[in-house]
Structure 1
Amino acid sequence: MQSIDIGTHMKTEIRFLLQDDPALPRLAALMQEMQTHYGVYCPPHEEIIAGLARRPPAAEILLCEDEEAMLGFATFSAIYPGPGLKPGIFLKELYVSNAQRERGIGKALMRALARIASSRGLSRIDWTADSSDLRLIAFYERLGGAPKPEKLFFRLEDEALEALAD
């Protein structure tokens, strides 16, 4: 999709994850790192690969990688409607390897996502952030992102999901 310069001698690129992509094991390893970073449960490596292979068709993933490593990724889906009944993108995850932070990878992934939104005629990118992660919030604000304190994030899961479904 696009090559980026992050100050190394290696070719670094941002591209879409493809079905049966040879990068699946490296992406799964980076997802394991992400789960450890957030201190949450992580399924086994092979289960992550299987989940990636059967992800919903509308769930898209951008990879940032060089010849040696998976550096970061962004997962997103189109959403509709939004303000003015216009479509947008919901960014579910943006993650850069702990070893690769402060090199512009997160910004490059967000720029690629903004270009995708623009090229598809989508009017916005929405996402959530942990309200206690001030470093992350500052990163998003430097990009031009604006918090929307008038909105609340809700989740229906586990027993509550099952109870509603019954």
Structure 2
Amino acid sequence: MRIRKVTTADIGLLCPVFVDMERHYEGAGAIGEAEVRARLGRFLRSGHGIMLVAVDDGALGILSMFEMFPGVALRPVWFMKELYVAERARSRGIGEALIREAAKIVVEQGGSRLDFTTGRDNSGAQRFYSRVGAGEVECVVLRFDEAALARLAQQETELLPE
């Protein structure tokens, strides 16, 4: 197995992992391969963030992360959006290998930390992250969902007088 950065040439390689991930999280109504190809292609062509893939005879797992600025002392902070290992490849050290490669990149880029979230009810993920050295921080996660974003985008901003 090896881990490397993803390129647009990897879309076909990654599709099975993303379809698996969507079914894992969303169930039977998950999006299909054609939509995965389109969305993944758009993301990879955008140049936003870094995506890693663990591969052997196919894709085993992915990790995506993004640099954010500013962080503490104006150093970058990275955010890991997704770490997913295909069901067929779990319990082989692939998640840990992906995290280690991400850590190398963050350190090389001068980052001060790697932040991420997991579901409060996802005790398996919490045990895994704790085992590889992550610490839990007190934080309130807020979100504008799709409907809230649409409302905000349509509203006019009125500035208050000085």
Task: Give TM-score, length-normalised by structure 2.
Answer: 0.87
- Determine if contact 2:81/2:116 at 8 Å carries over to the other structure: yes
Partner Cα distance (1:82, 1:132) in 2: 28
- Structure 2 residue 77 is matched with structure 1 residue 88: yes
Aligned match of 1:64: 54
**Deviations 1:114-144 (Å, cap 9, x if unpaired)?**
0000111111100010110111001101111
Mapping 1:1-166, distance limit 5 Å: 12-19=1-8, 21=9, 23-39=10-26, 42-55=30-43, 56-66=46-56, 68-149=57-138, 151-166=139-154
Between 99-108 and 33-42, the greater mean CA deviation after superposition: 33-42
Between 79-88 and 133-142, the greater mean CA deviation after superposition: 79-88
Percentage of matched positions with identical amino acids: 32
List alignment gaps of at least 5 residues for structure 2: 155-162
- Determine if contact 2:53/2:63 at 8 Å carries over to the other structure: yes
- Determine if contact 2:5/2:51 at 8 Å carries over to the other structure: yes
Partner Cα distance (2:62, 2:87) in 1: 12
Partner Cα distance (1:103, 1:63) in 2: 15
List alignment gaps of at least 5 residues for structure 1: 1-11
Residue 82 of structure 1 and its aligned partner are, at CA, apart by: 2.2
Residue 48 of structure 1 and its aligned partner are, at CA, apart by: 1.1
Partner Cα distance (1:84, 1:130) in 2: 29
Q: Which has the higher helix share?
A: 2
**Deviations 1:2-44 (Å, cap 9, x if unpaired)?**
xxxxxxxxxx11011112x1x3123121111111111355322
Alignment: residue pair count: 151
Partner Cα distance (2:18, 2:141) in 1: 23
Q: Which has the larger radius of gyration?
A: 2
Task: Give TM-score, length-normalised by structure 1.
Answer: 0.85
> What is the CA RMSD across the aligned residues, in angstroms?
1.3
Residue 95 of structure 1 and its aligned partner are, at CA, apart by: 0.3
Q: Name the aligned partner's letter for residue 28 of structure 1.
A: C
